[in-house]
Amino acid sequence: MTVRLGLLGAGRIGRVHAGAIAATPGAKLVAVADAVASAAETIAAETGAEVRDIAGIMGASDVDGVLITTPTDMHAAMIEEAARAGKAIFCEKPIDLDVNRVRACLQVVADTGAKLMVGFNRRFDPNFIELRRQIDEGAIGAVEMVSITSRDPAPPGPDYIKRSGGLFRDMTIHDFDMARFLLAEEPVSLFASASVLVDPAIAALGDFDSASVILTTASGKICQISNSRRATYGYDQRIEVHGAKGLVSAENLRATTVEVANADGYRREPLLNFFMTRYTAAYRNEIAHFVAAVEAGGPISPSGEDGLKALLLADAATLSAREQRVINLA
Amino acid sequence: MTVRLGLLGAGRIGRVHAGAIAATPGAKLVAVADAVASAAETIAAETGAEVRDIAGIMGASDVDGVLITTPTDMHAAMIEEAARAGKAIFCEKPIDLDVNRVRACLQVVADTGAKLMVGFNRRFDPNFIELRRQIDEGAIGAVEMVSITSRDPAPPGPDYIKRSGGLFRDMTIHDFDMARFLLAEEPVSLFASASVLVDPAIAALGDFDSASVILTTASGKICQISNSRRATYGYDQRIEVHGAKGLVSAENLRATTVEVANADGYRREPLLNFFMTRYTAAYRNEIAHFVAAVEAGGPISPSGEDGLKALLLADAATLSAREQRVINLA
Amino acid sequence: MTVRLGLLGAGRIGRVHAGAIAATPGAKLVAVADAVASAAETIAAETGAEVRDIAGIMGASDVDGVLITTPTDMHAAMIEEAARAGKAIFCEKPIDLDVNRVRACLQVVADTGAKLMVGFNRRFDPNFIELRRQIDEGAIGAVEMVSITSRDPAPPGPDYIKRSGGLFRDMTIHDFDMARFLLAEEPVSLFASASVLVDPAIAALGDFDSASVILTTASGKICQISNSRRATYGYDQRIEVHGAKGLVSAENLRATTVEVANADGYRREPLLNFFMTRYTAAYRNEIAHFVAAVEAGGPISPSGEDGLKALLLADAATLSAREQRVINLA
Amino acid sequence: MTVRLGLLGAGRIGRVHAGAIAATPGAKLVAVADAVASAAETIAAETGAEVRDIAGIMGASDVDGVLITTPTDMHAAMIEEAARAGKAIFCEKPIDLDVNRVRACLQVVADTGAKLMVGFNRRFDPNFIELRRQIDEGAIGAVEMVSITSRDPAPPGPDYIKRSGGLFRDMTIHDFDMARFLLAEEPVSLFASASVLVDPAIAALGDFDSASVILTTASGKICQISNSRRATYGYDQRIEVHGAKGLVSAENLRATTVEVANADGYRREPLLNFFMTRYTAAYRNEIAHFVAAVEAGGPISPSGEDGLKALLLADAATLSAREQRVINLA
C-alpha cells in the first residue's frame, strides 16, 4: 500500500518534509497547498505533486494523510478540519501557543478518532534514538538525572521573537518533550531561571534568551536544561542521562572528522550550525515513522497529548521565570 | 627564607599535605600533632618532622604557619588559637558547619590580623586553573552560564553522613566555591532540587544523595550544578563555562590514554575514582600557594570570607531543597 | 541542461550510482543494461529509467554519458566502445588488472578525445576533501609524511580473492590513489611487506591479507600505508598528513555519537563497517562531480592516467612483497 | 632493606633519576659524582647525598648499585668497572654507539654475573604498560601489526647531531625497543626510508631527520615506525597495535583537559612537548623497577641484550636508508 499525502504549507520546513516523503518508500506526496503559489509550485515541480488549494487536499479521496506546516496560528484549525475529514495528521509543533486552544483542538481529534502526530523531530534523531535504546536495554540502570544542553547558533530577529510565544514555548519546548521522553515519568515541579544576556532587543519584547530549568518527578528524578539563543561554536545539542548503573551521553555533530594540529593546539571545526542540517536524519525518520503508523494503524507518537504536556511545561517555565518561584505541576 | 610549618591532624588528608610540603621548595614541615600518636609518628618518620602536642606547635617559635586537618568540629577553635598565636593558617574546609560559629571565628581572625586560607583545593587543579585563565584572557567573552558536574564514585557510610552536615555542606560546598570563582559575581537567588536515589539509608538520616542547583546573579548569569553521591564510572568532575564569544570546558581525568577497540566498540578506562588521585596536583599547588603567600605577605585566597560565603550557599540549598522553594540570597 | 546517463551494470555498486544520479540535480538516468534482466528492471523501477541492451545505450542519441559498473574484465572494452560512441565515461576502478590492457584502452580514449573519469570514490569523501583543503590552504605547510590506515571489516570469500588481482590491486589501489592525491608528487621508490595473518585460505590462493607499504618521492616525502583484510571494530579508514607547520588528520565514522560509561569504562560503538555506508556521501559527490564535469566540458579527475598510475604502484607492491625488495619506480 | 645507590653523571637526566630515587621507598641516593663539581653539588644539596669521585662510588661498600648517566662514550667503560666492582648497574641507553664495543661490554657483564638494566624508559610509561597489559590479557588476540608514531618537538643542534650516532641510533632506537617489546618476536627483515625535510644542516652532517621504517618477523607480523625530528604540535608519542580480535592504542598526553570552542572551532592545547615532562611517570617507574629488581635479585629487564638488539636494528636501519634496500636480519 502507498500512503498518499498532502502538504499544507510550502515554506522551509514544508520543503524538508516533501524531501523526506520522496525518500520514504511507500509514501507519495500527492498534493501541496500554500497561500504563496510559487512556493507550492516549487515543491510540486521537485516532487511531481499537484498544486491544490486547502479544500482540494482536505476533501480529496486520494489523500490519506496531511502534513501541517503552516504558520503556528493556523495549526489548530487545520488539525480540526483534517480530523473531521478523516485524514491522518502530522502537525509541526506547537499545536497552538494557547493551552486552551490546544485542549479544544485535541477534543476534536478525540471525538473524530483521528490519528495525530506532533513534530517533535528530536525523538527521531539517530543519536537520541540510540541513547534511549541504551536506557531501555538497561545499560545505565534506573534513570536518575537527565541533563540537556540546547543552544541555538544565533538569536532570531524581533519579528520571529514576537510571534514565537517566548523562549520556553518556542525553543525549550523541544527540551521539555525530550525530558519527558527520557525521564519516563511526569515532572511534578519546575523551576526556571531566565535572563537576557545575548540581545537587549529580546528584553524589550519581554522575552528571555538564556535559561536554566530544573524539572523534578514524584520519585525524585531530576532533569536540568540549559538554553541559550546563541552559541558561537554552532548548534549545541547534547544530552546526558545518569543512572544507577552508569551514564549515557550523545554528543554534538560536525560536518567532518578533520582535526588540524600545530603550535596553537589541536583544532576541530565548529558544530553543524543549522537545525535542518543537524537534524536531517531526524526529519527523514520522523516522516517515515508517520507513514509507517498511518499504514499500520494503531496509536502514534509523539501524540497530541505529548504536544499539550510539553506546552504546559513551557507555560509553567514562563511563569516560574517571571515570578522567580517554583511551580507545582501536580 | 624557609616557611616552617606545623601540621595539626595526621589523618588521610594531613598526610597528603605533608607530602605536598615535602615537594614544595622553601617549605619545611617542622612538627606534627595528632590525638592518635601512631598517626603522627608515621608522618614524622616519612618527613623528618617532630611529633609534638598541639600546644607545642601553636606556641613554638620555630613554626611560621599551621595546617589544620583535624575533624571539622575542631577547626574553628584551632583557627582562633593559631590566629592568637600569630601563625599563618591553612584550614581544610569547612571552617565549621554552623554559620554563626564561622562568623565568630572570622572575627577573631580579623581582630588578630591573622592570615587564613581555606582549603578549596579545586581552585588549584591545573585544569580549572587553565579554564579560569582562558576566561580571564577573554577566550569566551563575558561569562553567561556555568555548568558544574560533580559526582562522587560511591556514597560514604552512615557515620560520615551523620557528621557531614549534609550533601550541600559536605559535597556541593566545593561546587559553590567554584561557581563563585567562575561567575565572578555573587549569586542573588538559589534553587535546589534534591532527592535520595542512591541509598535509602541516606534518607533515613535526613540527607540527600542527588541534587541539582541553580544559582542566579544580579546581572542574570546562571550557574547549574549536578551532584550525585555515586557514579559507577569514576569521580566525575567537569566544568563548562558558556560566554558571549564561546565555550570553555574541562574534562575528566583518567590514569592512561589507552583505548581498546573490538566488535563491542571502543572502550576507554573509567575515570580516576579517588579524590586524592584526581586532585593530586591540586593539593600540591594549594600548599605551594599557601607557602608562597606566607612568604610574600599580603592577602591570601581562598579566604575565610570565601569559606563563609560557600557555607551560606550550602545552607540556602539545604533550606531550598527541604522547603522546595527559591531562596533569595540578597 | 540535463546530463542524460546510461548505466552499464546493475549490480550493487550500479544501484548505488543510480541512487546518486537520482539525488543529483541536472542529471537523469535514461537507461540501464545488465546481463541479469531482473537486476536492470529493479533499478529501472526505482528510477524511471528504461531497460535497454548495451548497444541501445552506447548508440543512443539520448545518452550523454555512461557509467560502467560491470565486472572488471569488461571495463576496458566498454570504455573503448563508449569512447568511440562519443560518450562521456565514468568507470569503476580498476580499468583493468593488466597494465598493458589499460594502456591500450587509454590510447583509444586519447585518440577519440573522450572524457574518462575513474571511480576513486575516496577523493570525494567529505572528510578527505576537507583534509586536502586544509593542506591546500597551508594549514600544515609543506607536506612531509602521509600515513594511511585502511582496513576492511572482514575478508572477502575465495571467489572474490581469485578474481581480485590480489590485495594490492584490489584494496591498496585506493590508498595508492590517495597517496598520490595527498603527496602531490609521484613516488620514485616503493617497499611492501605483506603477510597472511587473517585467513590461510588467502595464502592458498597466493595472495596476502595484511600489508605495510612505504612510498618515497624524489624530494624525500614519505607515505606509509597499513592494510588488513579484517578489523573487528569496523571499516578502519584514517589518514594523517604531517607537514612542516603541523598535522592534519581525518578520523573514522560512526553511526551515532553515543557513549556509555560504567564501571567497565567508557564505550563508543564500533565504526561504520560497510563501505557503502561509510562512503555514502563520497559516492554522491563523485557522481555529482562527473555530471558537473560533463556539463562544463574540460578535463576530468581522477583521470584514466590516475587509474593507470595507481595500478602501476599496485603491481610494484605485488612484486616488492613477493621478492622482498625495494622497487625503483623511476 | 634499603637499596643504596650512587649516581655517575649529574647532568639533566641524572637529576631526573636523583628525583626518582628520592620518590622511591626503599631506595637511597648515597653519593653522586660528576666532572663538573657544581652539578654534583646541586644534586647532593637537593637529596642529602655525598659528592664523591667515581672511584669513591665504584669502590664503596655503602653502595649497592650505580646509575650511569654520563655522556654515551663513557657508558661501556663504566659498566665494566661497576660490573667488576660487583655493583648492580642501571645505564642510560645506548650502551655504546658501536656494536662491537657493546658486545665486549656485555661479555664483561656476563663474566662478572653483574645485573645490568638499560634505560629504555618508555617501557615504564603507564600508558604503554597498560597497552601491553591489554595485549597480555588477550584483549586484541594475536598481535599482527604495530604502528609507532614518534616525533620530537624540535630538532637538536648540530653538536648534538654529530655525537648522536644518527637518527636511528639516537631516536628510533627507543621505537625499535618498543617494537620488540610489543611484537614479542624478533624482526627478520627491515626497510627504512629516510629523508632530510626539517633542517638542511642535518643533511650536511650526513644524518636524516624524517624516516619511516618497516620491520617484519618470521611469522609475518609487521611493525611500522614514523619518525620526525620536528612536530609543531608537541612531543608526538603514539602506539597502535592491531590484532586478530581488535585494536589497542595509546594516545598523546596534554597538560590539561581544557577545550575552548568558538566560531573558529574547538581547540585543545598542544601536546606536552618535553620528554622529561611527557615521561615523568616513566622515569619514576623505571627507577622503582631497578630498585625492586636489585632488592629481589634475579633477572632484570630491559637487559643489556635488549640494548644490543635495539642497536643492531638501528644499524640495519642506517644501512637500509643509505643504500635504499631491504636488510635481512637473520
Decide if C128 contacts C239 (C-beta within 8 A). Answer: yes
The chain C residue lying nearest A138, using CA atoms, is C260
Helix (H, G, I), strand (E, B) or coil at B278: helix
Prior bond of B302 cis (ω within 30°): yes
**CA–CA dist A153, A235 (Å, integer):** 5
Contacts (Cβ under 8 Å, ≥6 apart) of A165: A72, A94, A97, A314
With a cut of 80, say whether residue D248 has pLDDT above it: yes
User: pLDDT tens-digit profile of C128-140?
Assistant: 999 999 999 999 9
Strands in D218-262 per DSSP E: 222-228, 236-243, 247-250, 258-262
Cell 576541530 sits on residue: A268
pLDDT score recorded for residue B244: 98
**CA–CA dist D202, D195 (Å, integer):** 10
pLDDT score recorded for residue B148: 98
Domain with CATH 3.40.50.720 in chain C: 3-114
The chain A residue lying nearest C267, using CA atoms, is A248
Beta bridge pairs of residue D8: D33, D68
Q: Residue D291 — very low, low, confident or very high, per pLDDT cuts 50/70/90?
A: very high
ipTM summary value: 0.96
The chain A residue lying nearest C242, using CA atoms, is A261
Task: Name every chain A residue with its beta carbon within 8 A of the beta carbon of C251.
Answer: 257-259
Helix (H, G, I), strand (E, B) or coil at D32: strand
**CA–CA dist A249, A239 (Å, integer):** 6
Q: Say which of B147, B149, B214 has its CB closest to residue A214.
A: B214
Alpha carbon of residue D32 to chain centroid: 22
User: pLDDT tens-digit profile of C180-208?
Assistant: 999 999 999 999 999 999 999 999 999 99
**CA–CA dist D258, B137 (Å, integer):** 14
pLDDT score recorded for residue A297: 86
CB neighbours of residue A141 within 10 Å: 14
Q: Say which of A189, A212, A222 has its CB closest to residue B210.
A: A222
- Domain D3-114 part of CATH 3.40.50.720: yes
DSSP class per residue in A211-280: EEEEEEETT--EEEEEEES--TTS-EEEEEEEESS-EEEE----S--EEEEETTEEEEPPPP-SHHHHTH
Prior bond of D158 cis (ω within 30°): no
Among the residues of C207-279, which ranges form H helices? Answer: 275-278
With a cut of 80, say whether residue D1 has pLDDT above it: no
Prior bond of B299 cis (ω within 30°): no
Residues 229-248 of B with CB under 8 A from C: 232-233
Decide if B306 contacts B120 (C-beta within 8 A). Answer: yes
Q: In 3D, which of D179, D174, D208, D197 has the Cα closest to residue D311?
A: D174
The length of chain D, given as a count of residues:
330
User: pLDDT tens-digit profile of D170-192?
Assistant: 999 999 999 999 999 999 999 99
Prior bond of A126 cis (ω within 30°): no
The chain D residue lying nearest C230, using CA atoms, is D244
Decide if C251 contacts C237 (C-beta within 8 A). Answer: no
| CATH superfamily, domain at A123-278+310-328 | Dihydrodipicolinate Reductase; domain 2 (3.30.360.10)
Interface check D267 vs A, CB under 8 A: yes
| Secondary structure (H, E, C), A93-159 | CCCCCCHHHHHHHHHHHHHHCCCEEEECHHHHCHHHHHHHHHHHCCCCCCEEEEEEEEECCCCCCHH
Interface check A252 vs C, CB under 8 A: yes
**CA–CA dist D69, D7 (Å, integer):** 7
Assigned C-alpha cell, A125: 534523531
Q: What angle do CA D184, D190, D193 make, to 5 degrees?
A: 130
Q: In 3D, which of D133, D131, D87 has the Cα closest to residue D108?
A: D87
Among the residues of D33-153, which ranges form H helices? Answer: 37-47, 54-58, 75-84, 99-112, 126-136
Q: Which residues of chain A have pLDDT under 70?
A: none
Q: Say which of C232, C263, C267 has its CB closest to residue B232.
A: C263
Q: In 3D, which of B293, B318, B322 has the Cα closest to residue B115?
A: B293
**CA–CA dist D67, D90 (Å, integer):** 5
Assigned C-alpha cell, A226: 540549559
Domain with CATH 3.30.360.10 in chain B: 123-281+310-328
Inter-chain residue contact C260 with A134, CB threshold 8 Å: yes
Q: In 3D, which of C222, A57, B295 has the Cα closest to residue D195?
A: C222
- Percentage of the residues of chain A whose pLDDT score is greater than 90: 97
Decide if C282 contacts C130 (C-beta within 8 A). Answer: no
Q: Residue D131 — very low, low, confident or very high, per pLDDT cuts 50/70/90?
A: very high
User: pLDDT tens-digit profile of D23-50?
Assistant: 898 999 999 999 999 999 999 998 999 9
Domain with CATH 3.30.360.10 in chain A: 123-278+310-328
**CA–CA dist B32, B260 (Å, integer):** 46
**CA–CA dist A75, A97 (Å, integer):** 10
Residue type, C190: L
Mean pLDDT of the residues in chain A: 97
User: pLDDT tens-digit profile of A55-89?
Assistant: 999 999 999 999 999 999 999 999 999 999 999 99
Neighbours of chain B (3+ CB pairs under 8 A): A, C, D
With a cut of 90, say whether residue C299 has pLDDT above it: no
Decide if A88 contacts A113 (C-beta within 8 A). Answer: no
Strands A88-92 and A247-250: unpaired
Mean pLDDT of the residues in chain D: 97
Prior bond of D187 cis (ω within 30°): no
Rounded to 5 degrees, what are φ and ψ at D44? -60, -45
Beta bridge pairs of residue B211: B194, B227
Residues 113-132 of A with CB under 8 A from C: 126-127, 130-131
What is the H or E stretch that residue D193 is in? strand D187-195
- Return per-residue pLDDT of chain B as tens, 330 residues: 799 999 999 999 999 999 999 989 899 999 999 999 999 999 999 899 999 999 999 999 999 999 999 999 999 999 999 999 999 999 999 999 999 999 999 999 999 999 999 999 999 999 999 999 999 999 999 999 999 999 999 999 999 999 999 999 999 999 999 999 999 999 999 999 999 999 999 999 999 999 999 999 999 999 999 999 999 999 999 999 999 999 999 999 999 999 999 999 999 999 999 888 999 999 999 999 999 999 998 889 999 999 999 999 999 999 999 999 999 998
Eight-state DSSP code of residue C280: H
Helix (H, G, I), strand (E, B) or coil at C1: coil
Eight-state DSSP code of residue D301: S
Choose which CATH entry (3.40.980.10, 3.40.30.10, 3.10.310.10, 3.30.360.10) describes domain C123-281+310-328.
3.30.360.10
**What is the arithmetic mean of pLDDT over C167-173?**
97
Assigned C-alpha cell, D325: 634496500
Query: Residue D77 half-sphere exposure, CB side, CA atoms within 13 Å?
Result: 7
Decide if A47 contacts A6 (C-beta within 8 A). Answer: no
**CA–CA dist C285, C268 (Å, integer):** 28
Q: In 3D, which of B228, B300, B257 has the Cα closest to residue B65?
A: B300
With a cut of 90, say whether residue C12 has pLDDT above it: yes
Q: Say which of A224, A230, A245 has its CB closest to residue B224.
A: A224
Task: Name all contacts of D273-276 with Cβ < 8 Å and 24+ positions apart.
Answer: D273/D153, D273/D234, D273/D235, D274/D153, D274/D235, D275/D152, D275/D235, D276/D12, D276/D13, D276/D16
Helix (H, G, I), strand (E, B) or coil at C88: strand
Inter-chain residue contact D140 with B247, CB threshold 8 Å: no
Residue type, A279: Y
Among the residues of B113-259, which ranges form H helices? Answer: 126-136, 158-164, 167, 173-183, 200-204
Of B151, B197, B215, B241, which to mutate for an interface test with A (greatest number of A Cβ within 10 Å)?
A: B197
Decide if C111 contacts C90 (C-beta within 8 A). Answer: no
Interface check A263 vs D, CB under 8 A: yes
